[in-house]
Amino acid sequence: MKKIRVYVAGASGKMGQEVIRTILKEDDLLLVGASDTRHQGMDVGFVVGAPRVGIDITGPLEIGNLRSSRADVLVDFTNPQSVLKNSKTAIMAGVVPIIGTTGLDEAEIGEIRTLVEKEKTGAFLAPNFSIGAILMMRFARESAKYFPNVDIIEMHHDQKLDAPSGTALKTAEGILEVREPMIQGHPNEYEKIQGARGADIAGIHIHSVRLPGLIAHQEVIFGGLGQALTIRHDAFSRETYMPGVMLSIRKSSELTELVIGLDNFLD
Amino acid sequence: MKKIRVYVAGASGKMGQEVIRTILKEDDLLLVGASDTRHQGMDVGFVVGAPRVGIDITGPLEIGNLRSSRADVLVDFTNPQSVLKNSKTAIMAGVVPIIGTTGLDEAEIGEIRTLVEKEKTGAFLAPNFSIGAILMMRFARESAKYFPNVDIIEMHHDQKLDAPSGTALKTAEGILEVREPMIQGHPNEYEKIQGARGADIAGIHIHSVRLPGLIAHQEVIFGGLGQALTIRHDAFSRETYMPGVMLSIRKSSELTELVIGLDNFLD
Amino acid sequence: MKKIRVYVAGASGKMGQEVIRTILKEDDLLLVGASDTRHQGMDVGFVVGAPRVGIDITGPLEIGNLRSSRADVLVDFTNPQSVLKNSKTAIMAGVVPIIGTTGLDEAEIGEIRTLVEKEKTGAFLAPNFSIGAILMMRFARESAKYFPNVDIIEMHHDQKLDAPSGTALKTAEGILEVREPMIQGHPNEYEKIQGARGADIAGIHIHSVRLPGLIAHQEVIFGGLGQALTIRHDAFSRETYMPGVMLSIRKSSELTELVIGLDNFLD
Amino acid sequence: MKKIRVYVAGASGKMGQEVIRTILKEDDLLLVGASDTRHQGMDVGFVVGAPRVGIDITGPLEIGNLRSSRADVLVDFTNPQSVLKNSKTAIMAGVVPIIGTTGLDEAEIGEIRTLVEKEKTGAFLAPNFSIGAILMMRFARESAKYFPNVDIIEMHHDQKLDAPSGTALKTAEGILEVREPMIQGHPNEYEKIQGARGADIAGIHIHSVRLPGLIAHQEVIFGGLGQALTIRHDAFSRETYMPGVMLSIRKSSELTELVIGLDNFLD
């Protein structure tokens, strides 16, 4: 079996390290390069707490290093600024970038699309690499066809600043593709204390729990005659993203266009 | 064993019927009378869907009927107006009223207390007869000593008008007896959509879910370093109150003062 | 709009009554007949606790009554013996039977199929009319493609005799259509007390909780790297089946073959 | 305020490191020494991923080091062999050992008790330092007085070998102090597949879920008339033990006897 050759940008970051640790355990994947401004010149195994790998961390990503590595894909979970630059470098080098950021705007995504078409190389971009979370959103969308009444409870650690979470908002958007806006609850219901009924998006109520100790959890609860249907996802650690990243590597290596969203790689 | 003699007011109401059905199954309790303006003259068994009992429903509660029944206690889940009148009648007849309403104001409770002291009869009043809900509130109060960060999620059918529920508010009040007001969540947190963080009571956030199919459910979630402690109560039907009503009957028959709250009868 | 004309067999039974109460609330459905050996000659509204409907309960189902009612469908939740006989009567009368029983064997289903083909009338048969439960099983099957490790917890009232529940077994069967048998848990794991790890079906563990107060609940929990995905269904009352029964009525009235399973009517 | 002086044995172990990181953040605690056979001579801050502390890791614990550190307590989460030796050393040095192991037998605990009495120094021993888990067990014990029917579901990662978990067994034991053995479920219930009803301890059923991704979770579910009361604890990381360890340090520094169990330090 020919192994898929993977280059990792941002190798010293938390996600970069996790990606590398996971790749090293997969039989069909081969780590062929790693870039980061930190730990330059150190063996990547040492940086991620694993045995020596034989690959040193280069400085910032360069097209020469990428080319000589003969990588199939570049995994990039760095910040939006680096991501755009790195992705372009990868595409020019004929390497498919796998981009994990929510920070690119429409214009920047347009730039990537144009370059992909010109260079006839693929690119993959996803705001969320959690397969479990994506299945949750998909099931929520399906359930809403039969159970229009739904509340979303998302629960995170108390250092999270924004509420509701991006995933909760995306879940609601998905539901609203199959369900009309409507008034949920009793038309005459009232709040004795403001906010009790949560955030209201076209009738869907989202409740944001923030507590120390929690990590990232979401419940989507559908209520119907005499029943409830609940879909819950718990993300316990950064590892939660790894099955999605590995799936993306396997599905992206032969891409010849820009694909957005992990959902495309699930049956 | 001497059985406890029970008279039920509002026998034709939903709670009254449930109380009667339950009493008929208990070996140590004896139904000795039942009043209601509906079904007057009908056998009480027939009214509650049970075999013939041999006791007819009288009209409105009268002191003569109560006295001749030699009842030990009067169970009354009717409306606040009737409850006050019925309780006074019971106390005058030397019968301990067991009062299940949240609708009496301070002055009315004062009237009952005064009469109880004068007549040297007991009385029992409770806003909530659900032992499970009372244990939940008790455990929440204990937990808050060690885990000050807490959110409450209460879930009810979508015909409920008010939010948060009375039980959620009482739970928060109990917690605030042992925990100082504080800011929960990150001091810089913000709502992208108003209401996401729920109702805020001295830092405790309450979230009210309303969906068809649901009955009455509450979760109290405490978060601490690396952990969560959750206490949940599900009330699936009116039966949920019966263990508390039966306990009250057994504990009240010898009362000689006004006792308020089922918590007094739990160890 | 032409209303769908519905005849209900077993009208005095618990499911029959619930079906009738629900039909009476639906604008596009018309109750045109009701049979049962009990309450013969009584108005069906009176039997189900609703106002007078103007239809009396006939005795056992007869082809003459069915024909003169000009029913489109016959809803039958009686016992297996009656169901087979009633279904044949319906098919002969050109009425589509909607059959809610798990008690027919292969030979009996074969008889129905043969008759359906001969008479060119449709028939619908489903072991489970709970849309929520069917979605749960469908989502479980989809999830298993990405998360092969799964445990099932089913929770019922303590009067249920068999364990695991039929729904839990069916859920496991569905999962095994997409997932190979495998050893879950650690290969060296051991039970300090027998039964702790539950019932094992090709590696899937099923746990049966039986407690008073519970109704019918099931959780399917998938575990993967750093995450869990949980699908839960709660059936709180007999009403839980009504959306599925109504959907079946609407989808069956034009059937011209035997269809088995509510899943066929969901997108 | 006089700070409590803490010495940590097994400083390089996972629990030892976590304890040190936590102590370094607490204002009223002062780290005064750290022993381990690994990392000898290295600054303890460096070992635990924190800035330089100014304390080097000594080799195996010695009475001279302990004495010269003027420690109030010794925290020891090493293995049973070391724990016994270290505890004796501490007691002889007038330092209160805080012992976190389940591996000592009755005879060994007896040795510690005898030495404590002779030296008039205290000692603290606990099998479980999770305050949340201990509250869960306490609440379960209280609930069983009112709800005798109970099932326990414990859920752990799939590398755990034994089932049921020690915490689940301890929870059942606690419940059995207030509840008589009884048959739960229907007397005629039967298993279609062996093990479905879980492990049976005097009528209490324990169900052990093992899945990758999970950490350590337990639900205790009580069922009663028309209701369920659930107590759940989720341990998401090793940090879960830290509030209990810190509480033990604060409560143990003045001990003059052997105390067993964190429960003694909770109100």
CATH 3.30.360.10 spans which residues of chain B? 131-236
Average pLDDT value for residue range D140-147: 97
Q: Where in chain A is the domain with CATH 3.40.50.720?
A: 4-125+239-265
pLDDT of residue D244: 95
Q: What is the pLDDT of residues B216-249, one digit of tens each?
A: 999 999 999 999 999 999 999 989 999 999 999 9
* Predicted pLDDT of residue C181: 93
pLDDT of residue D254: 87
Distance in angstroms (rounded) separating the CA atoms of residues D123 and A171 = 53
B160 is catalytic: yes
Active site residue B156: yes
Answer yes or no: is pLDDT of D252 > 90.
yes
For residue A49, pLDDT beyond 90: no
Indicate if the pLDDT at residue D194 is higher than 90: yes
Binding site per annotation, positions of C for NAD(+): 10-15, 100-102, 126-129
- Report pLDDT for D25: 94
Q: Is the confidence at residue A1, as pLDDT, over 80?
A: no
Confidence category of residue D203, pLDDT binned at 50, 70, 90: very high
Evaluate if residue C58 carries a pLDDT over 80.
yes
Size of interface B-D (CB pairs under 8 A): 118
**Interfacial residues of D (vs B; Cβ cutoff 8 Å):** 130-132, 135-136, 138-139, 142-143, 145-147, 222, 224-243, 266-267
- Hey, what amino acid is at A201? I
DSSP β-bridge partners for residue A258: A123
Q: Is C138 helix (H, G, I), strand (E, B) or coil?
A: helix
Q: What is the CA radius of gyration of chain A?
A: 21
Domain B131-236 falls under CATH 3.75.10.10: no
Q: What is the predicted ipTM?
A: 0.90
pLDDT at B203 over 90: yes
Q: B204-210 and B149-156 as β-strands: parallel, antiparallel, unpaired? A: parallel
The string of pLDDT tens digits covering residues A161-181 is: 999 999 999 999 999 999 999
Q: Which residues contact D64 (CB under 8 A, 6 or more apart)?
A: none
CA D207 to chain centre: 22
pLDDT at site B80:
81
Residue C177 pLDDT exceeds 80: yes
Name residues whose C-beta falls within 8 Å of residue B206's C-beta, 6 or more positions apart in sequence: A193, A196, B151, B152, B153, B154, B164, B168, B169, B172, B198, B199
Per DSSP, the three-state class of D5 is strand
Q: Which residue of C has its CA nearest to B235?
A: C213
What lies within 8 Å, CB to CB, of C165 at 6+ separation is C154, C156, C208, C216, C218
Residue C258 has what pLDDT?
96
- The region of weakest confidence among A18-27, B15-24, B94-103, C4-13 is B94-103
Q: Which two tokens stand for residue D75?
A: 């925290």
Q: What is the pTM of this model?
A: 0.93
Q: What integer pLDDT is reported at residue A79 of this predicted model?
A: 84
Which one of D213, D214, D236 has the shortest CB-CB distance to A213? Answer: D236
The one-letter amino acid at C171: T
Mean pLDDT of C235-263: 94
| The predicted structure's pLDDT at residue A131 | 96
List the beta bridge partners of residue C233. Answer: A229, C218
Confidence of residue A103 (pLDDT cuts 50, 70, 90): confident
Peptide bond into B164 cis (omega under 30): yes
**Best B211, B234, B240 residue to mutate vs chain C (most C CBs within 10 Å):** B234
Could you tell me which residues are beta bridge partners of residue A75? Answer: A8, A98
Q: In which band, very low, low, confident or very high, does the pLDDT at A254 lie, cut at 50, 70 and 90? A: confident
For B41-97, the pLDDT digits (tens) are 999 998 888 889 999 999 999 999 999 999 999 999 988 889 999 999 999 999 999
- What number of CA atoms fall less than 13 Å from residue B232's CA on the CB side? 19
Do the chains contact at A242 and C225, CB–CB below 8 Å?
yes
The whole-number pLDDT of residue D95 equals 97
pLDDT band for position D43 (cuts 50, 70, 90): very high
The pLDDT mean for chain D works out to: 95
According to CATH, the topology of domain A4-125+239-265 is: Rossmann fold (3.40.50)
**CA A211 – CA A213 distance, rounded (Å):** 6
Residue contact C198–D212, C-beta within 8 A: no
> Residue D267's pLDDT band (boundaries 50, 70, 90)?
confident
CA distance A237 to chain D (A): 9
Q: Is B25 annotated as a binding residue?
A: no
Q: Is the pLDDT of residue D50 over 90?
A: no
Q: Quick check: D113 pLDDT over 80?
A: yes
Residue D264 distance to chain B (closest CA, Å): 14
